[in-house]
Structure 1
């Protein structure tokens, strides 16, 4: 019955979007037989000066999912608002910019609040609430693109391109989770409070930041609550100022078209509109970020991550290809550290490839893709891996698209080998 409901829901959404796409095309003036009708889109931008150099831009987006994350039983099926966000940034002069971004993630039947206000003593209520994602101000120091300095709750991360992914234009359905190696450990949902510098040195794009880590990391606890032998991300909470700084940076060389450096959110795919080839490298450092209890005393472990990656996105004939590979070396201070199967000392590889088909219809364009990843953490005897097969249906580029993805995942494991997890997710994505 569950699989019947899943298939019915997917067919219903695909039919609805197909009807909407056809209606939008039919409402446009008729073109020549071989000319494809394209929907036009203008950004939500409010000019503050006659020449348009001072402005405020608003971006809103929603992602809705019908998900069967574990096709082996009934535990994985559900409906989910993956993201609903609003972002606004203002260029208030040639040298000053401010940005604010807030929203909510993963709203579903299992975490919704009866009244939406958490006014309850029921311990099972764990509603996802709207929260601040980003809030920073930025000053242009140089007269060119060499140096910008900013401060606030920011997303100018280190490590890799995918550690700075935007959520508006993924090539796959979502980001590679291991690329956000500090999420919830030293930051709030991938964002630190700190000071950053960014810019271009010729074709070398750089960003570095100094940040203060959070004190209530996932899995952390006060010293009196930590058992001997435990290894947790409790450095800031237990060791205080000995773990007060996070340093990170990412550097990439733009061999072909230069990408915009205005915002940190890296583009997943340009759909043939640019020809980009970059090679990058990044780091993340948090001294004494992890604590191991030995003889009732806390011992700090330095967190040091390193990554190298390469990104290629370019038109090929009437189509386009997208390719990305990354290697991560994670060091959480102690070999035995892990938080579930998401974080752990060890290494990881990720690669993806997509091909935008070289034809367009009134219903849009299609882009099949494949992705593969490995996670080899020292806390486990055996590595995990994952395969993703999917297709994007671009009704109006990344502004309106539907993605269907099948995932086959083997978690990291010790002892008896767990079954592979098979999942199927349909996602609708709209942004303005």
Structure 2
């Protein structure tokens, strides 16, 4: 523990004299190519990189305690020639490290792939419809969390509730609708379920497997249904894109109460009377998000809490996914400042998951601090995380540098 505390102190001292602004004064909306003087015809380009150094106390004796990885490298482009329709594409690579790289960059496990590609049409001021490979996820705010402006080092992993089970990296091929009715925002979708998900466990009469589309066929288990609804009590958040903001750094006054669902008929399969029988997968969540400035010296508070009820099938358990209930929350405080030095934001996160298939519950505690060198455009994050479940008792310390343009 002394090792972790020392690194936290050094982190604060080293970066306490760097320049800062909440939003970079040099950014001014990023790379945007306008086709005329109006804002209706343009192409916008965003790119970002996150690289990490990670220390773990639970690696085997023949593995180094400290490792490096390219956590994310992304390129996102969207544009329109009229405000009535828009296209978006998003490509990138995730978690590239020495264990999964390829000598020639051809056959390694992580590769550059299409994250998003969709087209959307404005039907009215309240309704936008679209389709393709999209990120308009339902269930909860964190199920559509963006990675440009996270408050914590990374998203709460189990909040990406179907990542790899029935989708491609939390993206689905399907159709969606989204919009606003006053201060009520919504997004709903009907999607395809992939047939080659991460769950490869054999069929059992005690534990369901999430392989309905693969085992029962797409006629019986090929579609999923999802939605999320949030009421904005203060400022109205933008839902122009699906990527939810992690922390606004005091630039907005936001208080949202949301609820959502995910339904997959016959998504799970279990053996009953020597036959494969489908079970519906049903997930429900309710959450709160608050982000607002405090005082007149630049301080702000960010907080989030969610309750999620998970039914992936009888006694389901696979990595971060389990039938049961999950409570998660995080809290961060952007320290006040009267000058232009680096801004710091200490935070805490906590996940408590009740697991039907186990007598033991999972707990994950995170303690971290952000150093904003130029708002979210240039940020350093140091985080200590402790996870406990069954035989797992793992402590990690991560330092991440992120730049986005």
User: What TM-score do you get using the length of structure 1 for normalisation?
Assistant: 0.86
Q: 8 Å contact 1:36–1:362 — kept in the other structure?
A: no
In the TM superposition, 1:344-359 aligns within 5 A as 344-359=322-337
Work out which structure has the larger RCO, using CA pairs closer than 8 Å and 6 or more positions apart in sequence: 2
CA gap of 1:37–1:426, structure 2 versus 1, over 3 A, is closer
Q: 8 Å contact 2:22–2:249 — kept in the other structure?
A: no
> Could you tell me how far apart the structure 2 residues matched to 1:168 and 1:355 are?
18
What is the Cα deviation at residue 70 of structure 1?
Answer: 3.1
> Could you tell me how far apart the structure 1 residues matched to 2:150 and 2:156 are?
10
What is the Cα deviation at residue 59 of structure 1?
Answer: 0.5
Q: 8 Å contact 2:184–2:232 — kept in the other structure?
A: yes
Q: Residues 284-321 of structure 1: CA distance to partner in whole angstroms, max 9, x if unpaired?
A: 00010011123442110100000000000000012000
- SS for the counterpart of 1:102 is strand
What is the Cα deviation at residue 233 of structure 1?
Answer: 1.0
What is the Cα deviation at residue 12 of structure 1?
Answer: 9.9
> Could you tell me how far apart the structure 1 residues matched to 2:174 and 2:206 are?
32
Partner of 1:86: 75
1:329 matched to 2:329? The reply is no
Partner of 1:256: 234
Q: 8 Å contact 2:143–2:159 — kept in the other structure?
A: yes
> Could you tell me how far apart the structure 2 residues matched to 1:333 and 1:82 are?
32
Which stretches in structure 2 are left out of the alignment for 5+ residues?
none
Q: 8 Å contact 1:204–1:253 — kept in the other structure?
A: yes
Partner of 1:420: 393
What is the Cα deviation at residue 386 of structure 1?
Answer: 1.3
User: What TM-score do you get using the length of structure 2 for normalisation?
Assistant: 0.92
Partner of 1:294: 272
CA gap of 1:262–1:247, structure 2 versus 1, over 3 A, is same
1:65 matched to 2:52? The reply is yes
What is the Cα deviation at residue 38 of structure 1?
Answer: 6.7
What is the Cα deviation at residue 401 of structure 1?
Answer: 0.3
> Could you tell me how far apart the structure 2 residues matched to 1:181 and 1:237 are?
19
1:44 matched to 2:31? The reply is yes
Partner of 2:195: 215
Q: Residues 242-272 of structure 1: CA distance to partner in whole angstroms, max 9, x if unpaired?
A: 1011000000000000011100000001100
Q: 8 Å contact 1:57–1:88 — kept in the other structure?
A: yes
> Could you tell me how far apart the structure 2 residues matched to 1:45 and 1:360 are?
32
Runs of 4+ in 1 over 6 A off after TM superposition: 10-14, 35-38
Q: Residues 122-154 of structure 1: CA distance to partner in whole angstroms, max 9, x if unpaired?
A: xxxx43101110000000001x2x100010000
> Could you tell me how far apart the structure 2 residues matched to 1:188 and 1:13 are?
38
Partner of 2:209: 232
CA gap of 1:72–1:132, structure 2 versus 1, over 3 A, is closer
Q: Which of 112, 121, 135 matches 1:139?
A: 121
> Could you tell me how far apart the structure 2 residues matched to 1:211 and 1:267 are?
24
Partner of 2:155: 175
- SS for the counterpart of 2:79 is strand
> Could you tell me how far apart the structure 2 residues matched to 1:37 and 1:212 are?
38
- SS for the counterpart of 1:237 is helix
1:110 matched to 2:99? The reply is yes
CA gap of 1:368–1:360, structure 2 versus 1, over 3 A, is farther
Q: How many residues align?
A: 398
1:338 matched to 2:341? The reply is no
> Could you tell me how far apart the structure 1 residues matched to 2:233 and 2:188 are?
21
What is the Cα deviation at residue 40 of structure 1?
Answer: 2.2
- SS for the counterpart of 1:280 is strand
What is the Cα deviation at residue 115 of structure 1?
Answer: 0.9
CA gap of 1:367–1:37, structure 2 versus 1, over 3 A, is closer
> Could you tell me how far apart the structure 2 residues matched to 1:79 and 1:89 are?
31
Partner of 2:293: 315
- Highest Rg: 1 or 2? 1
> Could you tell me how far apart the structure 2 residues matched to 1:156 and 1:419 are?
33
- SS for the counterpart of 1:231 is coil
